[in-house]
């Protein structure tokens, strides 16, 4: 009888890990889902400094112009003549979002104008140029 009592007491003292595992799996799923929505241009850019920079919260399209004037959208290099088509496709996916252009300090204004003209042709009115804030 004592063995039955000890076994029952031992069963009551065990820690149930099921709820903790459920929470861990929910957190894992949350981090996986949110990580897929982080936008990256695909190239490192040294942005110029600006003292009057404002944060943009509704950027749906992130475009980078590298120091050797390559245009990157969604981690892929894009030819200047194909920028309009890519912006149009991405703008159709999220019509309310704007564009943020990350132009390197060493890039030329020509590529910046190409990207801005393509955005204007598509009908995107919310275009911002990224900078570092001081």
Spell out the domain ranges in the chain.
2-35, 49-133
For every one of its 134 residues, what pLDDT tens digit does the chain have, with 9 covering 90 and above?
566 666 666 666 777 878 888 999 999 988 887 765 556 666 666 666 655 556 665 667 888 898 888 999 888 899 999 999 999 998 888 888 788 888 888 888 898 899 999 999 998 888 888 777 65
CA-nearest of 91, 96, 99 to 122 is: 91
Sheet of 76-78: strand order equals 76-78, 71-73, 59-65, 98-103, 127-129
CA distance 8 to 2: 10
Topology at the third CATH level for domain 49-133: Nucleotidyltransferase; domain 5 (3.30.420)
């Amino acid at each position: 009888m004592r063995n039955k009592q000890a076994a029952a007491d031992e069963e009551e003292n065990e820690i149930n890990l099921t709820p903790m595992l459920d929470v861990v799996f929910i957190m894992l799923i949350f981090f996986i889902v949110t990580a897929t929505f982080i936008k990256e241009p695909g190239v490192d850019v040294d942005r110029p400094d600006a003292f009057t920079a404002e944060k943009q919260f509704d950027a749906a399209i992130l475009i980078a112009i590298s120091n050797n004037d390559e245009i990157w959208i969604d981690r892929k290099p894009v030819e200047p003549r194909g920028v309009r088509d890519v912006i149009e496709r991405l703008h159709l996916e999220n019509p309310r979002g704007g564009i943020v252009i990350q132009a390197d300090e060493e890039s030329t204004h020509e590529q910046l104008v190409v990207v801005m003209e393509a955005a204007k042709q598509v009908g995107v009115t919310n275009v911002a140029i990224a900078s570092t804030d001081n």
